Amino acid sequence: MIPWHKLPLPLALLELVQTRNDLREKNLRDTSQIVDKETLPKPKQSPDSRHLVARTADGSFNDLTQPEMGMAGTRFGRNVPLAEASVDQKKLLTPNPRLVSSTLLKRDEFIPATILNLHAAAWIQFQTHDWFSHGENQPDNRFSVPPAQRNSGQASPDQPSSDQADNQTLEVAKTLKDPSRTDDNTRPATFINHVTHWWDASQLYGSDEDTLHRLRTHEDGKMLIGEDGFLPLDDSTGIDLVGFPGSAGGWWIGLSMLHTLFVKEHNTICDRLKQRYPSWDDAQLFDKARLINAALLAKIHTVEWTPAILPNPATQIAMNANWWGLLGKDVKNLTGHLGDGELLSGIVGSETDHHGAPYYLTEEFVSVYRMHPLIPDEIDFYAHRHGEHMAVKSFPDVFGRKTREAMQAMPIEDSFYSFGVQHPGAITLHNYPNFLRALMKDGSTEPFDLAAVDILRDRERGVPRYNRFREIMGTGRVSSFEEITSNRQWARELREIYNNDINSVDLMVGLFAEDLPEGFGFSDTAFRVFILMASRRLKSDRFFTEDYRAEIYTQFGLDWIDDNSFLTVLRRHYPALSPALYGLSNGFQPWRKLS
């Protein structure tokens, strides 16, 4: 059969619609009904009924008939049959994740993704912090992963890696248990999402009332930000005070820039609302500003970030259709939403539909968003006014507790410009950041191989391996390593590391090895989960569907979302960047270099 991305454009679009329909029917699995003991959180109504017209801190009451749906502390769902979501304890370390890391993932030379700028890498981490967190892991229950060594039956001799991280046992804390399950060996494997499942900007606002309280000024609806233009520092972590829990472990300058930008955007929205509704109190201003800001983030991701990383004509039309429909933005603005469906006028403003399973993000969704190759090992910094090269900094110098120092070392406009004119890494084999393969966490004296941990997490959480995953998601099994990749060297390495067993290839490895469709920044197999879940994040959320209306957002809010983009937000808060943005239609594509 001809792959969808090689079909003529109209047929490709029809194929994508049919694929999404099939996935909605076959690949939404409900784990919420599996309860061994009543320990999952219970939603609480607000006494003033704010939960009916505003997003709640913990994500409850998005669905008014099942108010616990999608709230923080509930389970991840599944895109695979529940019987398949099991952990094979005998194969957790086969092949050794350290060997996979050092042989297949290690970056020998930086491979750039030339279709993107570095903001695209920061953006996706910024978004995933809104969507999922497994918590801080079990402190006293660990996997011991031995140093990387080749199996004795393989052709190449043992050659210990020169990297320190490869030459010592790696201790990996296990994922926090699901407290509502009593049997460690039950099927399916289930885990808890410690942030809200909704697309509600919880990385900015938090997923509980206490966090939300700490982040607000409680005046005019605004969020905390200093007169120096930076966010407050969290004394316990040494990084910006933000809504995502445990951010110190993955905090860096790219995240700090985006958090700062969209806290500023929230406060600007509050100012504009107060001008129009001077009688509104702090809570009303905050609630509306959050709704508007969160929807703007979702729109930017849908019609800007995704088309930037997937610059294929069919996917660009499809993503715009998710937001505005096949008739387009101008027709929707003229006529409003036509009917209850999503095809003509888009998902946004259509009828809410969970497609047979309560809305929860899934473990498989988490897996396909493992995109660490986007991160470089070092970043060049340039002056935003004339493009002069100022410095090159290794990633550890702009990471963790050093982030604020890096932010203060130069005008923030220089940092934004520097990210705009350089590329992230390509999402392929042999391009995993070396820094992250020998990560020195705060307070640790031993390097931590995040690439090996990524492999282990999928196995630990019962995510099927690559070939079975392909079959479940409708792309069909492959029968040889050469069907995964046309790169003969990669195929040989895969065969060697996986002992000639095509069915044992890990999901992440297969996704990174796949030949990409033309104009794609990641694999077609991963794209199947995107087709399903990108639409679902909108379609299940009443604030993007039935309650995406002026009575909830205000007409000003709907217009603000419609009229703004990543580029307009950048220009509004950092107007000195405008020369570098001249002529751009997408802020995640490479910016104009100044000289």
Query: Which active-site residues does the annotation give?
Result: 129
**Phi and psi at residue 35, in whole multiples of 5°?**
-130, 125
Q: Which of 194, 199, 191 is nearest to 211 (CA)?
A: 194
CA separation for the pair 503, 75 (Å, rounded): 28
Neighbours of 183 (CB within 10 A): 7
Contacts of 557 (CB under 8 A, 6+ apart): 269, 273, 288, 291, 292, 295, 550
Q: How far apart are CA 326 and CA 108, in angstroms?
A: 44
d(CA 259, CA 265) in angstroms, rounded, equals 10
> Contact, 130 vs 245, CB < 8 A?
no
Is the torsion defined by CA of 557, 560, 565, 570 positive or negative?
negative
Determine contact, residues 40/69, Cβ cutoff 8 Å. no
Structure tokens at 167: 């030459």
The answer for residues whose C-beta is within 8 angstroms of residue 261's C-beta and 6 or more apart is 569, 570, 573
Other C-beta atoms closer than 10 Å to the C-beta of 273 total: 23
Q: What is the CA radius of gyration of the chain?
A: 23
Sign (positive or negative) of CA dihedral 105, 133, 315, 558: negative
Q: Is the dihedral of CA 157, 158, 164, 166 positive or negative?
A: positive
CB-based contacts of 483, cutoff 8 Å, min separation 6: none
Return the structure tokens found at 406.
Answer: 């890096």
Between CA 190 and CA 34 the distance in angstroms is: 9
Find the angle CA(209)-CA(215)-CA(216) to the nearest 5 degrees. 90
Name the DSSP letter for residue 461: T
H or E stretch covering 391: strand 389-394
Instruction: For residue 310, give the DSSP letter.
Output: S
**Burial per residue of 475-502, b for 16 or more beta-carbon CB atoms within 10 angstroms, e otherwise:** beebeebeebbebeebbebbbbbbeeeb
Residue bearing tokens 């694929």: 19
Query: Under a CB-based contact definition with an 8 Å cutoff, are residues 105 and 426 in contact?
Result: no
CB 105 within 8 A of CB 161: no
Phi, psi (degrees; rounded to nearest 5) at 12: -65, -40
CB 233 within 8 A of CB 403: no
Contact 110, 376 (CB under 8 A): yes
- Contact between 251 and 400 (Cβ < 8 Å): yes
